[in-house]
Amino acid sequence: MNKDGVSGAVVEGASVQGTGLIKGASIEGVPVESLLMMVLLTLLAVITIAIVRQRNMFGVVMLASIYSFLMASVMMVLDAVDVAMTEASVGAGISTVILLATLHLTKSVEYPQVRGVIIPIFVSVVVGAALIWGTMSLPPFGIVDAPVHMHTAPTYLAASRDHLAPPNMVTSVLADYRSFDTLGETAVIFTAGIGVLMLLKGRRRKMLGESEGQGDRGGEA
């Protein structure tokens, strides 16, 4: 093990950034970011298969929470810290709590499939192939001269310096240039939360009504 803490490997050009990740480092010629991304994407695929094959709803909720944490890690590797924080808090935090509360009021075992799975699998394969085909025309990942880095990003960065209200450029982009997008995301999360609360409240009323009915019948007997 060398001084960089890597056994049997050579780490070159390492520089530690504020996020705690090693940027610009390579292990035997392979960038550390690429290795982390391959590991995380492999774990995401394994978790997805496990969720599909799982029939216990508690296990599904726990696996979905792990999936959200892995997605947050992917966003951290991509330097999208704001998206990572949102994914960790909403996907792994609030959603897990709400789903566990739902399981407390419902059954935790999925009923067997009545219909066949051929058509859903066919649709999933076709949609997946179409998405992969659509990415073929995109520029290579991470290149500096991508269209978004040549026009959109420089304009946002240059104009953000003239904004006095936002404390930094990230807030300037999210609150000013992407304000309607951020407002839409907030509205979706708020609406989803209100809908879940209404469902849970209706289920609780139904359970209380059934328990009171059983109590009345027991008293009459």
25 falls in which pLDDT band (50, 70, 90)?
Answer: low
47-68 mean pLDDT: 88
186-190 mean pLDDT: 80
pLDDT of residue 46: 93
DSSP, collapsed to helix, strand or coil, labels residue 2 as coil
Q: What letter represents residue 48's amino acid?
A: T
CA distance 106 to 57: 10
Straight-line distance from the first to the last Cα atom of the chain, in angstroms, rounded to the nearest whole number:
77
pLDDT in tens, 129-155: 999 998 888 887 777 787 777 877 788
Greater confidence (158 vs 130) lies with 130
pLDDT of residue 190: 82
Domain ranges of the chain: 11-111, 170-215
Q: What's the token pair of residue 3?
A: 């001084």
Is 11-111 assigned to CATH 1.20.120.1200? yes
CA distance 14 to 155: 30
